[in-house]
Amino acid sequence: LADQEWSVAPSALRELVTKGPPEFLSTTANLADAPLPVVRVVKRTRGEAKLAILADAPRASPPLLSPEVGGRLAFAAPKRLVDEAIRLKREGCVVVVASHGFDAEAEEVARSTGADLVVQGHYRTGDAVPEKLPDPPPQPPASWAGQSLRGRLS
């Protein structure tokens, strides 16, 4: 779940999430008063390869959230995401984080979690669509099911 989903009325969002499948991922945010039945991590296995996906919706930069919406959410401390990523890496997982923050927050997520891949949900550096996306910061390659992955996707 990300910016737009959290903007939906809680009753409508609860109806969507509880119908299932699919499972709904939210590692760092949930409704404060009555948390939704979301998963904090999605894990998949393919042969010997293990993939873990986390989602970061940071308090500091949900630009699409009104104060009304942001006020009804509870945000986990950033350490929770870091600890979860470290635990999953120790389990031998390739860790992917979907970051719903600005570029600076996505870069901090990559640095602090050691994630193999950070995928941004939206381009965040401004309202106008850029002519060229910025070059991704250098990151070590990750491997998933024999494919080599590198950098950050936007």
The reply to whether omega before 78 is within 30° of 0 (cis) is no
Task: Give the CA angle between residues 11, 7, 117 to the nearest 5°.
Answer: 115
pLDDT of the chain, 154 residues: tens digit per residue:
876 787 788 898 899 888 877 788 888 889 999 999 989 999 999 888 999 999 988 776 555 556 777 788 888 988 999 999 999 999 999 999 998 877 788 888 889 999 999 888 655 555 444 444 455 555 545 554 555 554 444 3
β pairing state of 152-153 and 117-120: parallel
Give the pTM.
0.75
DSSP codes, 129-151: PPSSPPPPPP---EEETTEEE-S
